[in-house]
Amino acid sequence: MAPANSVIKHHQLGSFLSSAQPDTIPGFFIIHGEPYLIKQAFDTLSSFLLGPDHSPFALETLEGGSVSIGDIIEQVSTFSFLVPQKIVAVKNIPLFQAPQGSQDISFSSSDIEHLAQFLDAGLPANHFLILTTPHIDKRKKIYKKMADNGCIIDCSVASGVRKADTDEQKSVLQQVGADILSTVGKTIDNKAFHALVEMTGFNLDLFSQNLEKLIVYSGKASRILITDVKAVIIRDKKDPIFNLTNAVLDKDVNLSITYLNSLFNDGFHPLQILKSFENLIRKLILVKCFIQDVYQHTPVQLKKMNFNSFKQVVLPKIVQHDQQTMTDYKTQDEYLTSNTVKKKKDPPNDLLLAPNPKNPYPVFQVFQKAENFSLNELNQAVFFLSDLDYRLKSSSFDAKTQIENFIINICRKGGEGDAEKDKNRRHHF
């Protein structure tokens, strides 16, 4: 049965769920808007639907763009032998967007009609379907079907520069900050908050990551001050290199080239950009080698794993791996360092898979996106970047074209599926 309010804002979700009666909870939800807010809404909704038992067998996560409408309907309609309820989540489903690559699935008008008919007929009892997508089109017929047969959770935030838009952005940042700080019993000074917003802009992922840094830096202090922000936060408002590496992780070649052009237009030196790619590839190789070593006999599909399962199953092994890395590093350091030197160095963060395990979501994202790449192409990328680094420091040539060439090749669609097929073929960089 559809709720009385079929469209609710993200900040209304908690009160909606707490006041809803069991027979008023719809079987269908779609969450759209800001990725960070989508994740928060999804975690809140899935935890509520799973109930106190939180059985991992009740939740099945699919990746949009790689699954058909028929498969989605089949999964939702199939009953589980292990638990009485079933939740199927399809993340980033391209219902309102064109496909991003040749391997992505696009939905025809008959597919959309099939989904609409399924929603009209209703889901089986105790079965739930959750779709997430960045954007929606309210003009399309399928949107009205969704509103009539389920609940639409609106996580969008105004992106303009009018006062009303900036006030909404500030309000969302304040709420996100309050939620994060409340978990550790801290507050943030008003001047510190405004300085943090000025440095990060309206980028919820970056804002939350920087706030986590400030929490660690402030130690036992109950209040984060402006001096803490000035000491810790060094990224600028746009953080373009961060945006560039994120686009490469997603293998979005068009967006990557756009960010690269922006960097060169803003006067960034090619070596700065090259260093960011070197750090990214090094991290991805560490992740791939860890997965290959730990799961060599029991392959794990991180693309289909939800965040809660990652925290319960994979994160403890990552923490154990990092602890062993720290032990090995300190042992080596003690062996190589003179006995007269008392100060021992901590291992650099780029040797660790989870430098801050208390903030595991960025780690989860890197592990999932590492699935987009084969170890073979990452190794070839190391050779290319090393050669490019040498040429940049020893000769004059068109660095921008060479970096574009790197981006185009590393962003080719594929990944683990192509690794076996291309294992005997050298990737051309």
Tell me: do 254 and 387 sit in the same domain.
yes
* Residue 233 burial by Cβ neighbours in a 10 Å radius (0-12, 13-18, 19+): buried
Measure the CA–CA gap between 45 and 81, rounded to whole angstroms.
Answer: 23
Tell me: do 175 and 39 sit in the same domain.
no
Q: Token match 């992740």: residue?
A: 287
Domain span at 341 = 242-421
- Residue 341, domain CATH: 1.20.272.10
Tell me: do 287 and 404 sit in the same domain.
yes
**Is the pLDDT assigned to residue 58 strictly greater than 90?**
no
Tell me: do 27 and 13 sit in the same domain.
yes
Mean residue pLDDT of the chain comes to: 82
pTM (two decimals): 0.56
Tell me: do 301 and 267 sit in the same domain.
yes
**Is the pLDDT assigned to residue 129 strictly greater than 80?**
yes
Tell me: do 376 and 401 sit in the same domain.
yes
Residue 57 lies in a domain: yes
Q: What is the pLDDT of residues 334-393, one digit of tens each?
A: 766 655 555 555 556 667 888 777 778 788 888 988 988 989 989 999 999 998 888 888
Q: Amino acid identity, residue 243? A: N
Do the strands 127-133 and 151-155 form a parallel or antiparallel pair, or are they unpaired? Answer: unpaired
What pLDDT shows up at residue 5?
A: 56
Residue 53 lies in a domain: yes
End residue of a domain, out of 237, 272, 300: 237
**Is the pLDDT assigned to residue 428 strictly greater than 60?**
no
Residue 23 neighbours by CB distance under 10 Å: 6
Residue 95 lies in a domain: yes
Q: Token match 């960025």: residue?
A: 362
Our count of domains for the chain comes to 3
Residue 378 lies in a domain: yes
Residue 429 lies in a domain: no
End residue of a domain, out of 109, 132, 155: 155
| Average pLDDT score over residue span 168-181 | 93
- Residue 213, domain CATH: 1.10.8.60
Tell me: do 170 and 119 sit in the same domain.
no
4 confidence band (pLDDT: 50, 70, 90): very low
**Is the pLDDT assigned to residue 46 strictly greater than 50?**
yes
Better-predicted residue by pLDDT, 21 or 41: 41
User: Any idea which of 4-8, 242-246, 364-368 has the lowest mean pLDDT?
Assistant: 4-8
Tell me: do 136 and 193 sit in the same domain.
no
Tell me: do 228 and 262 sit in the same domain.
no
Tell me: do 274 and 410 sit in the same domain.
yes
Residue 393 lies in a domain: yes
| Average pLDDT score over residue span 114-130 | 92
Question: What share of the chain has pLDDT > 70, as a percent?
Answer: 86
User: Any idea which of 32-41, 369-378, 418-427 has the lowest mean pLDDT?
Assistant: 418-427
Q: Please give the DSSP secondary-structure letter assigned to residue 126.
A: T
Tell me: do 269 and 414 sit in the same domain.
yes
End residue of a domain, out of 155, 176, 208: 155
What pLDDT shows up at residue 102?
A: 46
What pLDDT shows up at residue 155?
A: 94
8 A C-beta contact, residue 240 and residue 272 = no
**Is the pLDDT assigned to residue 33 strictly greater than 60?**
yes
What pLDDT shows up at residue 202?
A: 80
Q: What is the chain's Cα-based Rg?
A: 23
Question: Can you read off the two tokens belonging to residue 280?
Answer: 């990214």
**Is the pLDDT assigned to residue 73 strictly greater than 50?**
yes
**Is the pLDDT assigned to residue 306 strictly greater than 90?**
no
